[in-house]
A and B are shown apart, each in its own frame.
Chain A
């Protein structure tokens, strides 16, 4: 009797209910796939429209395929200048904010000191402030001091909003850090500076790189704060904002496609590199035995 009831559902299972079961099991994967497709829609459009041959100045509808614009991607000098300015700004802001942020992260994780809690708040509050307020308050100060806006004010602003994010990323790397390695180095006679250079720095390096990459991405993509602090300087996002009113040249999409491809390749390269490093790291202990 028991066996009969147990086999009953199996016999009754039709193709329809099997399909339903499969669907129920995989629904979340299908949903996830659709969500990812949705995330990639604008990127596909950007790549496709970089080959468009628009009739007027507005690149809003598909007119026809052409490679003409790809042959002259840097034809529009204002656009190229804006891109170069953004790259210069992002590189400088990344170097400064990564150095300052890493030092703060080291202090916060390694030491207990008066003012630690206040410093933690000072790190978090800028990340909880809408960008428009960051830009507006900086502009207020520059106005009151009568400072002329330009590259310096842009750099000041970019470093300011990058620091907190660098701290957060590097700190998370430092927390899982095995202090006994440093102690071992010091037991073997290394001075603090050598210990830092030979042990600490290589171990937290991936965190620093991740922090720097985030800072670079934030800086080169920033529109809002730059809009308030740029004066007459035109960064890449500011150029696009201006061009959106006049009509966007195809070159904007071409450069966007280039930037996208370069970043994607760099990303894939880093992941593969990381995987190889992990593999090597996991092999070593056995070799040493």
Chain B
């Protein structure tokens, strides 16, 4: 009798032993830092003397000073996400349904950019788009940009960089959901006299939505906070909120303002993700949960 109780107790404690170290790490180095950042955002003073003071005006001051960069980041990121989706969906579809024996090679090509460092890829684009490079010369001779026109330091260059760098994150989840899709459903739709377009819109597209949701989130979230593309491919006029946070923290050491902006960015991000998941369905992020329970 007592033995059985001990065994039961041990069984009940096992998950906590498994969970403990990792969750503790996340609490200590993710949750607690958030608390400290929140506190720092309400400090007053100048480097290196800060005092906690419930200084809520840090938020209003920082936001009115940097609202341009804040909204620019969301705008660039949203555009890059949409363009990325337009490139990624047909590509994922081609790999999943028309890849044939080339399927693995195509997937390898999709993740190949990951085999080089993010910064070097962006540098490569800087080289490609540089002022006396091939692309700019061609555009100039065709007349799409003026004789002394540039591609670098335009919003187009930054958005193109963002689109490129996060494209695999868009392609892979969409591919995964298309790959899982039961093609007999599409055939059934066609047997029931739906056109190819109808079958796509009514069957394939809805069934691949979890992939689309995951892909757009995996693009939008990192792209909004990014500051590498704006740094390498843009100029002062293309600075995003990530550039502001980086500069306030690491160059100007105005920690309260930097913390206030970071906190606002985090809150805005979580809010957008929450609303988006509510509208588009949560299977993408929590999908496993349903299967686990059964």
Contacts and interface: CB of A to CB of B under 8 A. Distances in A.
18 contacts: A39-B109, A42-B125, A45-B124, A111-B14, A115-B19, A126-B26, A129-B269, A133-B263, A133-B269, A136-B249, A136-B258, A163-B26, A223-B118, A224-B242, A256-B116, A256-B120, A264-B112, A264-B115
Interface stretch (B61-69, B205-213, B217-225): B217-225
Interface in B245-294: 245-246, 249-250, 255, 258-259, 262-263, 265-266, 269-270, 273, 285-286, 288-289, 291-292
Contact of A175 (B18, B115, B288): B288
Give the contact-size bracket for chain B: 35 or more
Contact of B29 (A31, A160, A228): A160
A128 B270 contact: yes
B120 A39 contact: no
Interface string A142-181: 0110000000000011011001100100011001000000
Contact of B36 (A141, A240, A252): A141
Contacts of A271: 104, 108
Interface in B91-126: 91, 93-95, 98, 104, 106, 108-121, 123-126
A226 to B, nearest CB: 11
B151 interface: no
A103 to B, nearest CB: 4
A236 B120 CA distance: 10
Nearest to A103: B18
Interface centre among B113, B262, B263 (most CB of A within 10 A): B262
Interface string A212-230: 0000010011011001100
Contacts, number: 256
A264 B107 CA distance: 12
Contacts of B114: 217, 221
A163 B22 contact: yes
A32 B90 CA distance: 7
Interface in B147-161: none
A47 B117 CA distance: 13
B178 interface: no
Nearest to A222: B118
Interface stretch (A72-80, A116-124, A203-211): A116-124
Nearest to A140: B37
B106 A113 contact: no
> Chain A contact residues: over half helix, strand or loop, or mixed?
helix
A171 to B, nearest CB: 6
Contact of A137 (B91, B116, B225, B262): B262
B27 interface: yes
B118 to A, nearest CB: 5
B123 A248 contact: yes
B245 A136 contact: yes
Contacts of B127: 45, 49, 59-60
Nearest to B241: A132
Nearest to B95: A32
B82 to A, nearest CB: 15
A188 interface: no
A289 interface: no
A122 B22 CA distance: 11
A275 to B, nearest CB: 9
Given A100-B25, A124-B285, A237-B119, A113 B12 contact: yes
Contacts of A40: 109, 112-113
Contacts of B40: 140, 143-144
B23 interface: yes
Contact of A132 (B26, B255, B265): B265
A163 B33 CA distance: 16
A263 B114 CA distance: 9
Contact of A101 (B22, B29, B263, B265): B22
A116 B23 CA distance: 11
A104 B259 contact: no
Contacts of B242: 130, 132, 224
Given A39-B110, A132-B246, A132-B262, A60 B130 contact: yes
B181 interface: no
A107 B291 CA distance: 15
Contacts of A46: 116, 120-121, 124
